[in-house]
Amino acid sequence: MDYKLVKLDYSYDALEPYIDKETMEIHHSKHHQKYVDKFNDAVKGTNWESKAPEDIFPEISSVDYGIATNAGQVYNHNLFWKSMAPDSSGKPDGPLAESINKHFGSFKKFQEEFSQAAATQFGSGWAWLIKDNDNLFISSTSNHINPLMDIAETKGLPLFCIDVWEHAYYLKYKNKRPDFIEAFWNLVNWEEIKSRFNRSSVTG
């Protein structure tokens, strides 16, 4: 059975004015759909057929490049959509907020470090907040790579991410990636992120 493009929890125009409707529609229905289609084509006839992309990540260094790149892009986009919501609370609370303050000093310092990681990622890629045991880390990765992969420099459970491929922001922000990153903070879905944080704390 083919892997399916995830449905968004909000409409294409719901994230305006921070991300415009046209960017969202193209990004989801064209770019993400292309990755899903290529992933399905790449795994046909292999041991990974009918598997979810994340099932491949622990062994991604040993699989075909077409499988690896598209598996990563499918998963990364799935998390990116979940990382945003039109009714963001603006900042976390509870145990997640406490953990952020513990590891980064303050929420403001955390934002600054995450924004820096996203802004300085050379070329296409992603920035991540990662949980590993009781520790939080910020990292950035190139192209399709994510922290669940055996090839990732910093490994752990991704709590949220930002897409800094140009197709994520270029229609509205042109070459001003830092402006897109600043706008992203108005959309961060802290309820979803807290849920991922809390589940990982229970399951380890």
**Domain residue ranges of the chain, discontinuous segments joined by +:** 20-204
Query: What distance separates the 2 farthest-apart alpha carbons in the chain?
Result: 50
Question: In 57-176, which ranges are continuous DSSP H helix?
Answer: 65-82, 94-104, 107-120, 170-173
Q: Which residues, given as ranges, of the chain have pLDDT below 50?
A: 203-204
CATH of domain 20-204: 3.55.40.20
Q: What is the structure's pLDDT at 1?
A: 74
Q: Cα angle vertex 79, ends 74, 83, to 5°?
A: 150
Q: What is the structure's pLDDT at 200?
A: 80
User: Helices H, strands E: what count in the chain?
Assistant: 9, 3
What phi-psi label fits residue 181: left (phi over 0), alpha (psi between -120 and 50 degrees) or beta?
alpha
